[in-house]
Amino acid sequence: YNHKEQNFKGKGRFILTSKDSKIEGLDISYSHALAIIEAQSIQAHLFLDEIKQSQKEKKKFPTFKGGF
């Protein structure tokens, strides 16, 4: 993690999990300042009931970008 630029870049396979999603991909890049996650490839399993509840609570989530 680069604290000065508030970003992280990783090579290889990754898995991100939370109560409302499981995200798998390859070669992650994350910008905390921009709230963006990018990857060479990315697959997201979204748990819609949890997302709807989070939206009611007005929680903010990062934007996901990836190659297709």
pLDDT tens readout for residues 4-40: 999 999 999 999 998 888 999 999 999 999 989 899 9
CA pair distance 41, 28, nearest whole angstrom: 9
- Number of domains composing the chain: 1
Indicate the pTM of the whole model: 0.63
Tell me, what's the pLDDT at 68?
Answer: 41
Tokens, residue 40: 């060479």
For residue 44, tell me if it sits in a domain: yes
Q: Is residue 25 a contact partner of residue 13, using CB atoms and an 8 Å limit?
A: yes
Tell me, what's the pLDDT at 64?
Answer: 59
For residue 1, tell me if it sits in a domain: no
pLDDT at residue 65 tops 70: no
Containing structural domain, residue 59:
7-66
pLDDT at residue 67 tops 60: no
CA pair distance 3, 14, nearest whole angstrom: 21
Tell me, what's the pLDDT at 53?
Answer: 80
CA pair distance 56, 1, nearest whole angstrom: 31
